[in-house]
Structure 1
Amino acid sequence: MSELTITAFVRVSGPPNSNFLVGYPGISATLPRIEGKVEIRPAGGVSAPVGISYVCIGLYRRESIHPHADKVLSNHLAAPRKDIRDLVGQEMRLFQCSPGKPYESVLAMDLPFVLFIPFARAGDDIVKVPPASLQLPSRVAETYYELVVSVQQGHAELKKYPFPVPLCRYDTLSTFGMYNRPESQERVSDHVVTLGTSLSRWSFGPGDPVEIFVRLTPNPDWMSKARKVSISRIVATIEEQITYNPEGDEPTTKVNKLIQKKEVVGQKLPDKGYMTTINLQFPAKELHDSDGFLMRGKPGFPLHAIAGFTTTATLYKIEYFVSVKAHLSSCKDIQVRQKIIISPFDHQTCMDEMEAIELAARDAYHINIENPMLPAVTIIRPNDPNALHCLGMTMVGNKRKLLIE
């Protein structure tokens, strides 16, 4: 039987007791990367050699949007799903047979690899950090990553073997100092009343409390008009804004109201102003089933207690806002819309990750990107001593038998 008639069995394995993904994407100090090895064995014939000419690996991102997938359109056809597929970083060549030979006969190959995920250093605006894996309900927007191993067997058609890789981003953790400073905004109505909102921090995760400080103040130069103003109610809303084709010719924006709270006031605006604090809780989805078991996640997508989070991809962009509207009489209503960051992780999870991020940064300090010092390649050829041992076989007389240690 020819080596080329035996199809290669290909799989990718990560480091021992670890995931493919090493480091924290979005945090450059941890040198985020994918480590592992490509394992090639005979798919049939148990111990028949395989002819391998060329092996390479690359990380690919697939993005798709379908803005109308969550609607029932009876009168006309919905716009088709739009998608793109990009190589992230560079492909890595793992093996090429000697010049002049069509292929190399092997019984087993273990080819270590490391693929660095692009990251932006301070002041670097050229490098685009890949967005996190995400699948919104009804697949209106999706980002999916896969490791693709390309294997050439002689003159046969190049075969590609995809393996899904969930990718998270860690640069929006609510424990980072830049998100833990107060943020305020103000709007004025008819030069008579000013609505101001303030947040003590502006990064949140699933289930995190969102405390909004609200203040309505009269204009001291227009007190005669301001005394006629009554406050009917104050409505606070957390909004999710999805922009499809943000850099395209016709961007489309869709706003979803995630949670809303109304506070009925029903009083005149005091001379010293009116202050209140509105507390919301960012919505979280239940990850356990009715029996209390953790539900199985989809391959290629991390299991988060949240449907969407702040992210910017090529085909879509997701942003979040805290909107506060004051309903007034004898004066126009005022609305303030303040941008917030939504992380896939709640505040406690963010705190728990901080020590691990520091350790990952220390480990990455000693790594040379140009020469990451990979383990040696392992190639077992049919004529090597004890070659069949790697497949769990051995020769007893003239017969192949299972190897029993």
Structure 2
Amino acid sequence: MTAFVRVSGPPNSNFLVGYPGISATLPRIEGRVEIRPLQGVSAPVLISLVTVSLQRRESIHPAADSVTKKHLAAPRKEIIDIVGKEMLLFRCPAGKESESVLAMDLPFVIFIPYGRGGEEIARRVPPASLQLDKRTAETYYEVVVTVQSGHQQQKKYQFPVPISRYDTLSTFGMYNRPESAERVTDQLVTLGISLPRWSYGPFDPVSVYIKLSPNPDCLNKAKKVTIRSITIGIDEEIVYNHEGDEPQRKVKKLISHAQQVGVRMPEAGYFTNLGLVFPAKDLRDNEGILPRARKEFPMFAVSGFTTTGTLYKIEYFLWVLAKMAGARDILLRQPIVVCPFDHAGCKEEMEAIEQAAKDAAHVSPDNPMLPAAQIIKHNDPNGLKALGMTIVGGQRKPLIE
């Protein structure tokens, strides 16, 4: 007899509890596996084994965004990984092939790894759910329930769970310290930049302090240099198969802004402050309607952010190009972190993250204190009552309390 299987989360909340990427919140998937008869409300189901796991599916197809290359390139590459550990929820007693069951509610909690375990892959924080345009890169998660009935083949039931990462929020202190860098060409001019903060989300303002200084040892020569223009921009760099034999790198310019200068190099140096707004992908169609969100992905499905999976990684660089006459141009590239949420959204999450950390302080990963499993067997005297049925005059009827 086939079973009806579903996974339900805690009352009035999502499967996902806590904030992946933030260890203090003990990120975890909480819920219960519910098994009921599929045909005939009270026909018992034979159950031998029930397990649950969190599965990550990742795939890349770098040529998918080109119509011509798509058919000539290698096929889509895919990997499937189990996140954390697979949990055994039920196994029928030894010497018995299966248990005849009317209803089963099996609570579970799967802890999502949150330690940066270096080479120890099992402890790495899993990358966030993401689907890039034309599915060139994709990561999504499913809760997989495996049910075995007697001698029949194991049946798997998948339930999508979107997972976001919260360790790149622009409101965290570590991203709000100034970052600076310098670059020299020709030994005549030094380009220095300073970023007041280095994590950005969609529509966040990006400002850069820029200083061009002459080399004091060649001052006469450096003063003859003319600063023609200064351009700032942001690049998105995707490396496909970055851990493999043939990594493929694709760089895409997201935005740039040029300022014409036309000034001879002053003895004290040239200072300026340039800014731009971090671009955001508009998901709305021509009529201003947002597409229906897919269960596997959060709403920022096609907008990239800083992330590293097994098959791909996405990085971002802020670059400054100083074009000069009398000296070689200087290009400086500085890595930045891109967050899926804007600064206001990050601020809103902070309070909830603090609360989740307080709640997680009472949870022990070794003994999460799950409610007891409820298993109603075929011969249970109150079995039909649990299914909302009763026997009246020898016939099964809906139970009205």
What is the TM-score normalised by the length of structure 1? Answer: 0.95
Q: Which deviations, in whole Å up to 9, do the C-alpha atoms of 1:33-79 show, x marking residues without a partner?
A: 00000000111122111011100000111111111111122697112
| 1:111-122 map, 5 Å | 111-120=106-115
Counterpart-to-counterpart distance in 1, 2:99 and 2:5: 16
Structure 2: state its 5+ residue gaps.
none
Instruction: State the partner residue of 1:48.
Output: 43
Instruction: Kindly provide the amino acid, as one letter, of the partner of residue 372 in structure 1.
Output: P
Distance in structure 1 (CA, Å) of the matches to 2:398 and 2:74 = 57
**Residue 151 of structure 1, CA deviation:** 0.1
The Cα of 1:286 is off from its aligned counterpart by 3.2
Question: Residues 66 and 19 of structure 1: is their aligned pair in 2 closer, same or farther, counting only changes over 3 Å?
Answer: same
* Aligned position for 2:221: 225
Aligned identity (percent) is 64
When the two structures are aligned, how many residues end up with a matched partner?
399
Mean Cα displacement is larger for which, 219-228 or 134-143?
Answer: 219-228
The secondary structure found in structure 2 opposite 1:73 is helix
Q: Which amino acid aligns with 1:111?
A: L
Q: Which runs of 5+ in 1 are unaligned?
A: 1-5
> How do residues 6-405 of structure 1 correspond to structure 2 at under 5 angstroms?
6-73=1-68, 77-120=72-115, 126=120, 127-287=123-283, 295-304=291-300, 307-405=303-401
Change in CA separation of 1:245 and 1:199 when aligned onto 2, cut-off 3 Å: same
Residues 1:219 and 1:292: Cα distance change in structure 2 (over 3 Å): same
Counterpart amino acid of 1:357?
A: I
Q: Matched residues in 1 for 2:313 and 2:56: separation?
A: 16
Partners of 1:393 and 1:290 lie apart in 2 by: 52
> Residues 209-267 of structure 1: CA distance to partner in whole angstroms, max 9, x if unpaired?
00111111111221221122111111111010111121211211111111111111122
Does structure 1 conserve the Cα–Cα contact (< 8 Å) formed by 2:181 and 2:334?
A: yes
Deviations 1:173-192 (A, max 9, x none): 11111111000111112111
Residues 130 and 301 of structure 2 are in contact (CA less than 8 Å); yes or no, is this contact kept in structure 1?
no
Contact map agreement 2:130 2:302 (CA 8 A) in 1: no
Q: Does the Cα contact within 8 Å between 1:287 and 1:305 map onto a contact in 2?
A: no
Looking at structure 2, the residues matched to 29 and 124 of structure 1 have their Cα atoms a distance apart, in angstroms, of: 19
Distance in 2 (CA, whole Å) between partners of 1:59 and 1:294 is: 29
Note closer, same or farther for the CA distance 1:358–1:329 as it changes in structure 2 (3 Å cut): same
CA distance in 2, matches of 1:339, 1:203: 10
TM-align CA RMSD = 1.7
Is contact 1:57–1:91 with CA below 8 Å preserved after alignment? yes
Deviation at residue 295 of structure 1 after TM alignment: 3.8
Distance between the aligned counterparts of 1:78 and 1:116, measured in 2?
A: 38
Residue 232 of structure 2 contacts residue 274 of structure 2 at CA under 8 Å; is this kept in 1?
yes
The offset of 1:288, in angstroms, is: 5.1
Distance 1:230 1:372 in 2: 67
